[in-house]
Structure 1
Amino acid sequence: MASFSGGFYFCFLLVASFVLFSCSSGNVSWAATDFDFGTLTLSSMKLLGDAHLSNGSVRLTRDLGVPYSGAGKVLYSKPIKFRRPGTQSSASFSTFFSFSVTNLNPSSIGGGLAFVISPDDEYVGDAGGFLGIMDAKGAQSGVVAVEFDTLMDVEFKDINGNHVGLDLNSMISTRVCDLDTIGVDLKSGDLVNSWVDYSGSTRMIKVYVSYSNLKPKEPVISATFDLNEYIVNDFMFVGFSGSTQGSTEIHSIEWWSFSSSFDETPSYSSVLPSGPPPPPPPTASLMNPTADTVTPPPPSVAPQPDNSNATSHEDKGSGKCHNQLCKNGPGAVVGVVTAGAFFLGFCALALIWVYNKKFKREKKSETLASDVIKMPKEFSYKELNIATKGFDSNRIIGHGAFGTVYKGILPATGDVVAVKRCSHSGQGKTEFLSELSIIGTLRHRNLVRLQGWCHEKGESLLVYDLMPNGSLDKALFESRMILPWPHRRKILLGVASALAYLHQECENQVIHRDIKTSNIMLDEGFNARLGDFGLARQIEHDKSPDATVAAGTMGYLAPEYLLTGRATDKTDVFSYGAVVLEVASGRRPIEKEVVGVGKGGANSNLVEWVWSLHREGRLMVAADPRLSNEFDEAEMRKVLLVGLACSHPDPIARPTMRCVVQMLVGEAEVPIVPRTKPTMSFSTSDLLMTLQDSVSDLNAMITISTSSSENSFTGVAGGLDLV
């Protein structure tokens, strides 16, 4: 018994020592940060503007037809400590990254990219020579950047279109190096490696550039500056920014590692003088960081003596451990072995229990596609139940087609969120999977951000950022305050930008299928955030969509969609046109009751009413009278014409959403809208083929009202959701 107790006590000491060692080894400097592409996940990166993932790398810009100017930014999602409060002590940092610049149209001019230290994680600056870092008004102060510029801009005193520069709160570089002098061509399409080291104690920054994986002996830029003079916050964000200017230049970040601390040298820099961490092989993927070749070597540490040396040292020093064990004899050894076996058995049982719980939990999730839902965070049902006070009816803030939305306060962080509780029907589960698989991979400033999900206890829950100003529908028709014209104009531009992203800039085209004011949310600055992707579909670009049951809300549905059941980007454009007319006129797309003469007669369909006003030369009558003429008449007329152009009966005649954005910002003219609303017609063969293709896939009937002179399709009830 004494032997067992002694062995158990020894085992306890081992466990306690292991716990203490784990705690002490994990107790690194509170200000230290260390990560790389091998450890980053989708949730630890923030993609802004044109930035997106492509084949395991991060692309800052998009491959779009010229002329196109855009900007994108990727940031590490957590702020990094760069300054100790109340002191002038700034952090040291080292970063290594590999990138490539590819210009598919050599005759077009480029832009460039930059490693940036930024005060916030939402701002994207202007395109072109501004590299997405700041705008023409000089906004976004407190930025430190190392630019790799492929555009010679006289305004910023650039020396050529192939240089690296140090930017301190200005796009005019403090230090510049012509990369032609070291034989590096940024626009070659080849992989370029760069190292940036800054010492907080010496206040020296050094920038190295090379095609080789080996760090060069001499930096291309070496300068002394005090980081405290340029950063505005103790905590800052790090990442990359890039832009184009009327070009197809693609900027890809293939590998990135970063380390910072308040020590003389950050922990990661110890490996840099002898060469950088190996960059990932061509097949390495950001989304598959398990390969040993991707992870950089750990920081060097002092070698530890082996066990034999430790034992002999103890024997020579005190003789206690070794001699005491021998003195106790075989009993003590048996006790140690017995206790060790007991401890291992206990650990095995614990592992079996944990595995069994995990297996049961996964089994409860039925056949949910786990590979689809790895990217957003998984919340527990208990956490969301507490957040919504047991889904209290007093917490309801909205209703969707297949679920209810609750306001929630996360117990762990205190963050206020919106929790969508999908209905238990098959349609509710389909919407849950559709929304999760689509919106979970999208990143755009005008889309509602999906924080996470939960599929537990038979519940399907989605967690979003809470939009403080609710839906556009409520802001237009239920708020006591009249939504002013500048807000309406900004909202329409935001929605157009989001749809242009979904239709033309995603890897797979996304058709929303339910564009309406109640699905457009407003953040604290009344910026539009398009949400509710439960009816959305992803298709490959230029691929014909399949016929389905027409889904959406009457008043927003395109006539050809009602006929064929085929949703395309052009059906989304029609819905957007209805939203434009709704926002400009302050009138719902379908009025349930006949409106008075002041509203233009007895026509209850908004699109038809505005077309009739345009035919009569009285288009401005459609402007919302509640605005009391507090708007620019030319702007209002342009917006109404954009709404009519998008609502054209012929889908081919409707503009793309990218063109709509250009119209709204004044970069393109609004197309001539005919005074008389055109009719939509089908040839007999096309109509028969469409119906034959559609009937086999439809499970519901759509009533079609046809006249002898033209094909027309009208809804019988306003706000009716078709499923």
Structure 2
Amino acid sequence: MNSSTRTLIFRLGFAIIIFLLVPIPTSASTSSFHFSSFNARNFTLLGDSYLKNGVVGLTRDVTVPTTSSGSIIYNTPIQFFDSDANITASFSAKFSFSISNINPTSSSGDGLTFFLSPDNQSLGSPGGYLGLVNSSELTKNRFIAFEFDTKLDPHFNDPNDNHVGLDVNSLISIQTANLLLKGIDLKSGDLINVWIEYKNEQKVVRIYMGYSNTKPMNPVLEVKIDLSEHLKEFVYVGFSGSSEGSTELHLIESFGLQIFGFFPVRPHFRTHNVSDSSVIITPPPRLESNSKNHRKRIGLALVIAGPVFCCVVLIVFGYVSAKKWEKIKKQKSFKAEMVTGPRQFSYRELKFATRGFHSSRILGNGAFGTVYKAYFMSSGIISAVKRSKHSHEGKSEFLAELSIIACLRHKNLVQLQGWCVEKGELLLVYDYMLNGSLDKVLYPESKIDTNPLPWAKRYNIVVGLASVLTYLHQECEQVVIHRDIKTSNVLLDANFNPKLGDFGLARLMEHDKSPVSTLTAGTMGYLAPEYLQYGKATEKTDVFSYGVVVLEVACGRQPIERETGDQKMVNLVDWVWKLHSQGRLLEAADQRLKMEFDVEQMKKLLLVGLSCANPDCLERPNMRKVLQILNNEAGPVLVPKSKPTLIFSSSLPLCIEDIVSDYEQESQGSDDLFQDTVQGCQNLKEIC
């Protein structure tokens, strides 16, 4: 045994004896994180917020004035209060943001906030409400917010159009500071660094700001306030932003937070001034050890010091073995740590929740399996459980759907709750959608339908679907191509908001990379011509499918229908384009609506549908352009009166029966299902 080892053993043994002899106070409980860039794994995006290249945009990136609001929230709630010691923690936050405007002379506003709130769905109204509170329910949301306001709003007692303020449950700030006097222009477009500190012992909030990465000596705003009453429970942290009739863009580039100060209260009284009033902090009584107990403690230490010393020796020599065991343990627990958010369900609880996958619980059947309604009695939650039709054959699709959707966060995506791989079964658990799929609503089984889907809900569905496809195509770190967009894969929640689901055919692709050729898969009527010809899925093939869905929503007709009283099959795109060429476009509108719709919106929707379903993929707009058109942020796309025709250099490579299939069978070359799933999860971790 060398001298360094002997020294280490001696020090460890001495430290243990001291630990036994000396009462040690409770150590500070600290937690911290720092993100130099953002990702969809740790944050939830709400409203118009989006993620691009690791930077969060809180409002829409547009060239024409618009009204927008969005927020991003850290997924994990944070504890600021120790109920055992009755202590509120102090905290320190650091983040960087920029606010820019391509038309600063014609429009400005409204700003952004950093907030703490017990609500993880904080999304408010645009304009002066900063995306933080609802204009119709100003007192509903509870929050502590630090506003960086770029518009003077007298309604909220704003001092000017370039200030920082502290808000508590109200957008009327407790105290503000004019940043122009501090040499900071919020609307400069430059990156601004912010440090926010709350010292619970001093009951003071300090805000530091600057263009340099070095924290300034003096704060731009200092507020004496006791925040302990607002931090009694777990809270979420995040950012919100808004604009109203403006092109102002709000970007968050980095974010870090540290919680500290869960020490026992010091054994004396301290008085702090808070808003001209005094708050006396009374510490809990400290228990003193009497001499008798101390002697017993010394005796106990001497009795066990020898064995403890031997244990220290064993610990030192077992250090390497412990490290190896730790690696093995991490590998075994890898399944449970697969993704933040979705959890692993047991087969038993899913079987119980679906009454043994009883036929009465079936919600629908798809290419990859059956979907069941699941009721979890312990929580009272209703979910949808997707069960693979063939466990081994559906393995690749299962892993594709799991690895893709688990990393995505958007209000118009079906939320994945969890997964299960047991007893040769492949199961995914999703949020339950009360109103089922869009096709069931558009084409009810009962022909006597006196209540067709209203126009306002139809338009909202089309806009929501455009929003989520913009996210998948242009705002994710990798392009996500869905490849199976159709009305049966668009689900509707209780308020008929659209949720895109079924990612079994989805594929990932790097931005600016060529598409990968695969065997064509999808559903007839929704497949783009070039996809049928070459088998190359791109964003534009998704755009074509979206265009068909748009026409379905507007016309109330399926992509391919049989003419009434005739055996002839009619293609929806051809039918609408023919009416357009004859100047009778509005005659394509769903007759069941009985003209109860906005004529301009109907015309816009039909033209958007045709432009997206253009046979020439180069003439189709991208989804961001489509979203801007639908939101009146861009002019309409010109649609030719006659449907363009395409001539391919060769005939179709396969017969139509070979090309169109409901699913692909991709062999993975392994008999061990679990090992393949773990490999898929490893790929998932790289993606996220």
TM-score computed with the length of structure 1 as normaliser: 0.69
Alignment partner, residue 721 of structure 1: 662
1:504 maps onto 2:503 in alignment: no
Letter in 2 for 1:435: E
1:403 maps onto 2:366 in alignment: no
Alignment partner, residue 70 of structure 2: 72
Residue-by-residue CA offset, 1:119-172 (whole Å, 9 max, x unaligned): 743353456665433577776853553112456779977666643123466666
Go from structure 1 to structure 2 and tell me whether the alpha carbon gap of 1:176 and 1:457 turns closer, same or farther (over 3 Å shift). Answer: same
- Matched residue SS, 2:606: helix
* Aligned counterparts of 1:391 and 1:538: Cα–Cα separation in 2: 32
- Give unpaired runs (5+ residues) of structure 2: 1-15, 267-282, 665-688
Go from structure 1 to structure 2 and tell me whether the alpha carbon gap of 1:488 and 1:479 turns closer, same or farther (over 3 Å shift). Answer: farther
Displacement of 1:48: 2.0
Question: In 2, are the aligned partners of 1:102 and 1:251 still within 8 Å (CA)?
Answer: no
Q: How does 1:330-409 map to 2 (within 5 A)?
A: 373-382=338-347, 383-409=349-375
Question: In 2, are the aligned partners of 1:585 and 1:623 still within 8 Å (CA)?
Answer: yes
* Aligned counterparts of 1:53 and 1:250: Cα–Cα separation in 2: 10
Displacement of 1:559: 1.5
Alignment partner, residue 255 of structure 1: 256
Go from structure 1 to structure 2 and tell me whether the alpha carbon gap of 1:431 and 1:645 turns closer, same or farther (over 3 Å shift). Answer: same
Question: In 2, are the aligned partners of 1:124 and 1:134 still within 8 Å (CA)?
Answer: yes
Alignment partner, residue 192 of structure 1: 193
Go from structure 1 to structure 2 and tell me whether the alpha carbon gap of 1:510 and 1:152 turns closer, same or farther (over 3 Å shift). Answer: farther
Go from structure 1 to structure 2 and tell me whether the alpha carbon gap of 1:510 and 1:702 turns closer, same or farther (over 3 Å shift). Answer: farther
Alignment partner, residue 487 of structure 2: 517
Go from structure 1 to structure 2 and tell me whether the alpha carbon gap of 1:41 and 1:641 turns closer, same or farther (over 3 Å shift). Answer: closer
Go from structure 1 to structure 2 and tell me whether the alpha carbon gap of 1:338 and 1:722 turns closer, same or farther (over 3 Å shift). Answer: closer
Alignment partner, residue 595 of structure 2: 629
* Aligned counterparts of 1:455 and 1:447: Cα–Cα separation in 2: 23
* Aligned counterparts of 1:239 and 1:358: Cα–Cα separation in 2: 31
Go from structure 1 to structure 2 and tell me whether the alpha carbon gap of 1:494 and 1:209 turns closer, same or farther (over 3 Å shift). Answer: same
Identity of counterpart residues, as a percentage?
Answer: 42
- Give unpaired runs (5+ residues) of structure 1: 1-13, 266-300, 305-309, 696-700, 704-714
Q: How does 1:690-701 map to 2 (within 5 A)?
A: 701=654
Question: In 1, are the aligned partners of 2:57 and 2:249 still within 8 Å (CA)?
Answer: no
Displacement of 1:446: 0.9
Question: In 2, are the aligned partners of 1:515 and 1:556 still within 8 Å (CA)?
Answer: yes
Go from structure 1 to structure 2 and tell me whether the alpha carbon gap of 1:351 and 1:411 turns closer, same or farther (over 3 Å shift). Answer: farther
* Aligned counterparts of 1:633 and 1:263: Cα–Cα separation in 2: 68
Go from structure 1 to structure 2 and tell me whether the alpha carbon gap of 1:624 and 1:355 turns closer, same or farther (over 3 Å shift). Answer: same
- Matched residue SS, 2:526: coil
Go from structure 1 to structure 2 and tell me whether the alpha carbon gap of 1:461 and 1:605 turns closer, same or farther (over 3 Å shift). Answer: same
- Matched residue SS, 1:193: strand
* Aligned counterparts of 1:496 and 1:652: Cα–Cα separation in 2: 19
Residue-by-residue CA offset, 1:84-131 (whole Å, 9 max, x unaligned): 9xxxx9988644222232759797967643112457433534566654
Displacement of 1:667: 3.0
Question: Mean alpha-carbon deviation: is it higher for 661-670 or for 155-164?
Answer: 155-164
Question: In 2, are the aligned partners of 1:200 and 1:264 still within 8 Å (CA)?
Answer: no
Alignment partner, residue 221 of structure 2: 220
Between the two proteins, the alignment pairs up a number of residues equal to 610
Q: Compute the RMSD of aligned alpha carbons.
A: 5.2
Question: In 2, are the aligned partners of 1:92 and 1:263 still within 8 Å (CA)?
Answer: no
Q: How does 1:544-623 map to 2 (within 5 A)?
A: 544-591=514-561, 593-596=562-565, 602-623=568-589
* Aligned counterparts of 1:90 and 1:640: Cα–Cα separation in 2: 61
Alignment partner, residue 413 of structure 2: 447
1:437 maps onto 2:407 in alignment: no
Displacement of 1:545: 0.9
Displacement of 1:556: 1.0
* Aligned counterparts of 2:150 and 2:633: Cα–Cα separation in 1: 25
Residue-by-residue CA offset, 1:496-553 (whole Å, 9 max, x unaligned): 1111222222222222111101110111111001111121122223322122211111
Displacement of 1:35: 5.5
Displacement of 1:324: 7.8
Counterpart selection for 1:536 from 506, 517, 538:
506
Alignment partner, residue 46 of structure 1: 44
Letter in 1 for 2:56: R
- Matched residue SS, 2:597: coil
Q: How does 1:456-471 map to 2 (within 5 A)?
A: 456-471=422-437
Question: In 1, are the aligned partners of 2:412 and 2:468 still within 8 Å (CA)?
Answer: yes
Letter in 1 for 2:481: I
- Matched residue SS, 2:394: helix
Go from structure 1 to structure 2 and tell me whether the alpha carbon gap of 1:195 and 1:339 turns closer, same or farther (over 3 Å shift). Answer: closer
* Aligned counterparts of 1:388 and 1:355: Cα–Cα separation in 2: 37
* Aligned counterparts of 2:322 and 2:511: Cα–Cα separation in 1: 50
Go from structure 1 to structure 2 and tell me whether the alpha carbon gap of 1:337 and 1:379 turns closer, same or farther (over 3 Å shift). Answer: same
1:99 maps onto 2:96 in alignment: yes
Go from structure 1 to structure 2 and tell me whether the alpha carbon gap of 1:163 and 1:25 turns closer, same or farther (over 3 Å shift). Answer: same
- Matched residue SS, 1:146: strand
Structure showing the higher strand proportion among its residues:
2
* Aligned counterparts of 2:223 and 2:301: Cα–Cα separation in 1: 61
Alignment partner, residue 269 of structure 2: none
- Matched residue SS, 1:578: helix
Q: How does 1:227-266 map to 2 (within 5 A)?
A: 237-243=236-242, 245-246=246-247, 250-257=251-258
Question: In 1, are the aligned partners of 2:101 and 2:189 still within 8 Å (CA)?
Answer: no
Residue-by-residue CA offset, 1:305-325 (whole Å, 9 max, x unaligned): xxxxx9xx9988664455589
* Aligned counterparts of 1:324 and 1:435: Cα–Cα separation in 2: 59
Question: In 2, are the aligned partners of 1:177 and 1:221 still within 8 Å (CA)?
Answer: no
Question: In 2, are the aligned partners of 1:145 and 1:166 still within 8 Å (CA)?
Answer: yes
Alignment partner, residue 612 of structure 2: 646
Alignment partner, residue 672 of structure 2: none
Question: In 1, are the aligned partners of 2:367 and 2:663 still within 8 Å (CA)?
Answer: no
* Aligned counterparts of 1:356 and 1:199: Cα–Cα separation in 2: 42
* Aligned counterparts of 1:425 and 1:134: Cα–Cα separation in 2: 47
Alignment partner, residue 285 of structure 1: none
Residue-by-residue CA offset, 1:554-596 (whole Å, 9 max, x unaligned): 01111121112122222212111111111122221122x4424
Residue-by-residue CA offset, 1:382-427 (whole Å, 9 max, x unaligned): 4434433443333322222212222223466443222222344555
Counterpart selection for 2:639 from 659, 665, 673:
673
* Aligned counterparts of 1:653 and 1:25: Cα–Cα separation in 2: 67
Residue-by-residue CA offset, 1:606-643 (whole Å, 9 max, x unaligned): 22222223333433332223223332333323322222
Letter in 2 for 1:132: G
Go from structure 1 to structure 2 and tell me whether the alpha carbon gap of 1:340 and 1:569 turns closer, same or farther (over 3 Å shift). Answer: closer
* Aligned counterparts of 2:612 and 2:478: Cα–Cα separation in 1: 23
Letter in 2 for 1:595: T
Q: How does 1:109-148 map to 2 (within 5 A)?
A: 112-118=111-117, 120-125=119-124, 131-134=130-133, 141-142=140-141, 144-148=144-148
* Aligned counterparts of 2:237 and 2:87: Cα–Cα separation in 1: 15
Per chain length, whose mean CA-contact separation is higher, i.e. which structure has more relative contact order (CA < 8 Å, sep 6+)?
A: 2
* Aligned counterparts of 2:265 and 2:178: Cα–Cα separation in 1: 30
Go from structure 1 to structure 2 and tell me whether the alpha carbon gap of 1:702 and 1:722 turns closer, same or farther (over 3 Å shift). Answer: farther
- Matched residue SS, 1:75: strand
Question: In 2, are the aligned partners of 1:114 and 1:145 still within 8 Å (CA)?
Answer: yes
Letter in 1 for 2:662: D
Question: In 2, are the aligned partners of 1:110 and 1:248 still within 8 Å (CA)?
Answer: no
- Matched residue SS, 2:427: strand
* Aligned counterparts of 1:200 and 1:319: Cα–Cα separation in 2: 36
Question: In 2, are the aligned partners of 1:582 and 1:588 still within 8 Å (CA)?
Answer: yes
* Aligned counterparts of 2:236 and 2:331: Cα–Cα separation in 1: 39
Question: In 2, are the aligned partners of 1:67 and 1:246 still within 8 Å (CA)?
Answer: yes
TM-score computed with the length of structure 2 as normaliser: 0.72
Question: Mean alpha-carbon deviation: is it higher for 193-202 or for 424-433?
Answer: 193-202
Go from structure 1 to structure 2 and tell me whether the alpha carbon gap of 1:315 and 1:123 turns closer, same or farther (over 3 Å shift). Answer: closer
Counterpart selection for 1:486 from 456, 464, 477:
456
